[in-house]
Amino acid sequence: MTDQCKEFCQKLSDYLDGRLEENVCVLIEQHLEVCPPCGLMYESLRTAVEICRKGVTDDIPEEMARELKTYLRAHCRGSDH
């Protein structure tokens, strides 16, 4: 568990929404490259966000949201590191 992972978890949704400064985006992208668990989480979340944007559904599917939350919590706590 690193501070970078914690920061990554906190900023991921803002990153996907394009609400972050460019220099913060770079930090996140760098972290994705060195931390496979965060990379996996990013991929899942991005897929969920894309589904929402396409208007396939109004919300992230419940099952996916639950999985992501579980994963996010576990990873932020560092229990899978």
Q: Which residues lie near Zn ion (CB under 5 A)?
A: 5, 35, 38
**Whole-number Å distance between alpha carbons of 70 and 62:** 12
- Given a contact cutoff of 8 angstroms between Cβ atoms, the answer to whether 60 and 52 are in contact is yes
Closer to Zn ion by CB, 5 or 12: give it: 5
> Which is closer to Zn ion, CB of 52 or CB of 67?
67
Q: How far apart are CA 55 and CA 59, in angstroms?
A: 9
Min dist CB 43 to Zn ion, Å, is 13
| Residue 19: CB minimum distance to Zn ion, A | 20
Would you say 4 or 64 has its CB closer to Zn ion?
4
Structure tokens at 13: 């949704």
